[in-house]
């Protein structure tokens, strides 16, 4: 797209928004400080680099067999860098423990330490990407249907040790990068059919978490993530939303909201204002559920727009962290990275451009017609011209120009794998 056209469109948009009290230059500055945590698992379908890798479990499924997935750590890193080159702004990288640099050695999950992630720490510094982290309690011979809530103390202790080591790794990552590493704990624990001892499993999970979080760290932040159900574990989920909200509120822990982990009729956006009254911060895992937690590529749909709008309306930009969490193996994986990342950015851009002061004025004065009218008219304002300018300022493809870039990388790199 020609630069002069982008600039001209932006100047028009700037005037339109100024008439409603919105400063688009300020929004561009805010967008520069909006950092996504890109999920490493989109490029290789959640395979990881363990020598003794197991099958996916716990409801984790990557569907599709599009050619060219990353087969090793070098290919994964190259794919992430390529995707990053088409996403404006500076961003983070979210790693699962199974993506350690194991150098061809068998390292069980209760033996992992920072040495297995030192090359990632160095890579992050070289590529201006700070790191976040996750435990990996699925896809392992000891995963089964229950991990941290398992009545078998030996299995439970194995996953407690794994989680403790992951926190220590996250602490070292945060210290090395001079910014807290956010570490997410999610377990798939549950049951396929009717469960009569729900309380016992949840008591086990609570006690395990208490032991895991016993050590205080300064350079990492814990977050805990719920789920409604997993495939093969449909009837009972130990770590339900109620469990983790209560645990987070009582223990001052960050709560993770995954947009695929709720009933299709629930509004994740509506949870933001309630949770922020009781927990210090929120972590988002943004994906797109299609009938269930299918982890389709994030798009600029109503639930995503509503979620980002609510964060802005809550004045919570400094209390929410933004991660992506999908793995689509049916289309070009690099293209999926770019589409989802830019969709999240566009949703935030539109949220920041909302004429919020005027809308709040209408609401405070019980002017319901005016509020609804302005909300509707705001949808048609030229927000896209502001996002295009954001791309231009960051030297990345504007509009659909990135499609050709993805096609070129596929022709030259991924198609030859």
Q: Measuring CA to CA, which residue among 92, 239, 247 is closest to residue 173?
A: 92
Chain-centroid distance, C-alpha 290: 17
283 burial type by CB count under 10 A (0-12 exposed, 13-18 middle, 19+ buried): buried
Q: For residue 309, what are its two tokens?
A: 């709008």
CA pair distance 85, 417, nearest whole angstrom: 21
Q: For residue 172, what are its two tokens?
A: 């070292």
User: Rg (Cα) of the chain, in Å, rounded?
Assistant: 22
Q: Measuring CA to CA, which residue among 336, 309, 312, 314 is closest to residue 325?
A: 336
Q: For residue 360, what are its two tokens?
A: 């709040």
CA pair distance 8, 245, nearest whole angstrom: 47
Q: Would you please indicate which residues are annotated as catalytic (active-site) residues?
A: 186, 225, 227, 258, 261, 285, 293, 295, 325
- Packing angle of the helix pair 24-32, 383-393 (nearest 10 deg): 50
**Paired sense of beta strands 36-39 and 92-96, if any:** parallel
CA pair distance 204, 311, nearest whole angstrom: 34
Beta-carbon contacts of residue 123 (< 8 Å; ≥ 6 apart)? 77, 129
CA pair distance 51, 120, nearest whole angstrom: 18
Helices (H), 178-267: 198-212, 241-251
Q: Please check whether residue 254 is in contact with residue 281, taking contact to mean a CB–CB distance below 8 angstroms.
A: yes
CA pair distance 412, 235, nearest whole angstrom: 47
CA pair distance 255, 258, nearest whole angstrom: 10
Q: Measuring CA to CA, which residue among 212, 216, 83, 85 is closest to residue 159?
A: 212
Matching residue, tokens 């990552």: 173
**Paired sense of beta strands 131-134 and 92-96, if any:** parallel
- Altogether, the residues listed in the chain come to a count of 417
């Amino acid at each position: 797209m020609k630069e002069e056209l982008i600039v001209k469109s932006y100047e028009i948009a700037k005037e339109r928004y100024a008439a409603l009290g919105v400063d688009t230059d300020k929004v561009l500055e805010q967008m520069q400080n909006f950092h996504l945590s890109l999920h490493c698992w989109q490029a290789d379908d959640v395979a990881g680099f363990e020598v003794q890798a197991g099958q996916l479990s716990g409801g984790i499924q990557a569907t599709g067999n599009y050619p060219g997935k990353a087969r090793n750590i070098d290919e994964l890193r190259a794919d992430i860098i390529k995707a990053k080159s088409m996403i404006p702004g500076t961003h983070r990288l979210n790693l699962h423990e199974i993506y350690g640099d194991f150098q061809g050695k068998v390292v069980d999950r209760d033996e992992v330490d920072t040495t297995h992630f030192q090359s990632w720490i160095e890579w992050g510094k070289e590529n201006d990407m700070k790191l976040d982290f996750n435990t990996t309690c699925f896809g392992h011979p000891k995963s089964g249907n229950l991990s941290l809530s398992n009545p078998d103390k030996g299995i439970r202790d194995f996953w407690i040790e794994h989680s403790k080591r992951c926190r220590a790794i996250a602490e070292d990552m945060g210290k090395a990068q001079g910014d807290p590493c956010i570490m997410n704990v999610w377990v798939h624990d549950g049951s396929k059919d009717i469960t009569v001892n729900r309380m016992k499993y949840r008591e086990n999970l609570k006690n395990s978490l208490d032991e895991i979080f016993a050590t205080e760290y300064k350079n990492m932040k814990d977050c805990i993530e719920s789920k409604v159900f997993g495939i093969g574990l449909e009837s009972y989920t130990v770590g339900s939303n109620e469990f983790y909200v209560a645990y987070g509120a009582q223990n001052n822990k960050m709560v993770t909201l995954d947009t695929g982990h709720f009933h299709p009729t629930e509004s994740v956006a509506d949870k933001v204002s309630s949770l922020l009254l009781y927990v210090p911060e929120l972590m988002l895992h943004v994906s797109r559920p299609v009938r269930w937690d299918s982890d389709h590529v994030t798009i600029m749909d109503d639930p995503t727009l509503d979620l980002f709008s609510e964060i802005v309306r809550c004045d919570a930009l400094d209390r929410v962290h933004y991660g992506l969490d999908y793995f689509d193996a049916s289309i070009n994986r690099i293209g999926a990275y770019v589409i989802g990342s830019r969709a999240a950015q566009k949703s935030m851009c539109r949220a920041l451009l909302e004429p919020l002061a005027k809308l709040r004025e209408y609401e405070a004065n019980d002017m319901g017609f005016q509020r609804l009218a302005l909300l509707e008219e705001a949808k048609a304002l030229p927000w896209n011209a502001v996002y295009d300018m954001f791309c231009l300022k960051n030297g990345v493809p504007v509009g659909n120009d990135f499609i050709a870039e993805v096609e070129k990388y596929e022709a030259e790199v991924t198609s030859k794998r």
